Structure 1
Amino acid sequence: MSSAKLQELQKLSVRELKEKCRESKMKVGGTKGELLMRLCGMEKEKPKASRRMSVQAVNKWLEREGVNDPERVSKCLRAGIQKGYVDISGDSPLDNVFAEGQCSACENDIKATIRDLLYQPDYAGLDYEDGGLEATVKCPDEDCGAGVYVTRICCGSHEMDCGKFHNHCIACPGFGKCIGDYREEHCTSCGKHFFAGSGGQFPCSCTRSASEMFFPFF
């Protein structure tokens, strides 16, 4: 559109601009600036919202992909699939590479597919002290063989971790959510998460007295 034509449109009132939109079979709502953008063909197209899958739909999808026991699949992974954070497109989606990073022990490059993460533990606990023995993703270097966890899949901001900060709460509704530090726990009384310590020695604030809250280590 020429600058002269744009200047002509700018002189019109909102009502007149809406009438022009109506004549061109365009939407007629919006501010004057939005109407001008629309008539000039410069209106930004709003991205379509991704459709959230139901819990049942995620499990059914896994079954269709040959997973016989979807209830055993990592809830962190299933939550990521449910929210659209995991790419499940293609002819063999379970083999899609989901995460790439470096081994925390030797810095070798590591790639993790969806298949690699199917049975990753949702809680790593102290496994980081043993080199990630329970992790389903391993360093490709046989001399290293350290285990690596892919955490925060359910948050859309996944990262590779030794396991110390991989703690996905399965007590929360649905597929649950990541709460990070292995010393955090879900309170069955108030439903919130709290720092319980490495041995679970600290209670939730909803059950602690005022003195305990001020002097938690005594």
Structure 2
Amino acid sequence: MREVDVFWSFRSPYSYLATPGILEIRENYDVRVNIRVVLPIAIRSPDILFTPESLNKVKYIQLDWERRAEFLGMPHAWPSPDPVVMDIKNFSVPQKQPYIYWLSCLGVEAQRRGRGPEFVAEVSRLIFGGTRNWHQDDHLASAASRAGLNLGEMDASISDDASHMREIEDNQQMLADAGHWGVPTLVVDGEPFFGQDRIETLKWKLSQMGLEK
């Protein structure tokens, strides 16, 4: 069976917007969909985008992702709290990050348990869909349950297990090897398709390959 690798970040609004298409690919094509969680670019490569000189890029993303969400009919609001703790005014990112490493390792664990697409769809809808304080109460536990997973068991699995971070690092190298740096990037047979708006192109490619169910 052919595989579609989805390089995905919990801080990327476009990754969130890609989730319905990712689930459609899994349902409608004879492929295995692998969620390859990577750290947000603000953590792994802040010099690429998050600099004072790139303020216009950040402003455009803030404008465009909400517009795209409205176009797709998806609920949207910038996360509260932001999965990446940073000072947006001077683009400084402190070393202490209470959310993003935890979320990313949970995403790796979900993929290991065979529920990666479902988990990232539910959790990103929670984070980017307007749920304030998504990290508190039973919000994440309920999202995990809807994805067919148990958050307590997942937390236990990622506790003091460095293999999850190693897998994230491997995913980041795989993304670079595929010829890209951004998310979401979907790769089939070594060919990258970057951006939520390229999912339709990927579907066309899969059909050309005779992979429709």
For the aligned pair, the TM-score class normalised by the smaller chain equals under 0.3
TM-score, reference length from structure 2: 0.24
Tell me which protein shows more helix as a share of its residues: 2
Higher Cα Rg, which structure: 1
Q: More relative contact order in 1 or in 2 (CA 8 Å, sep 6+)?
A: 2
TM-score, reference length from structure 1: 0.24
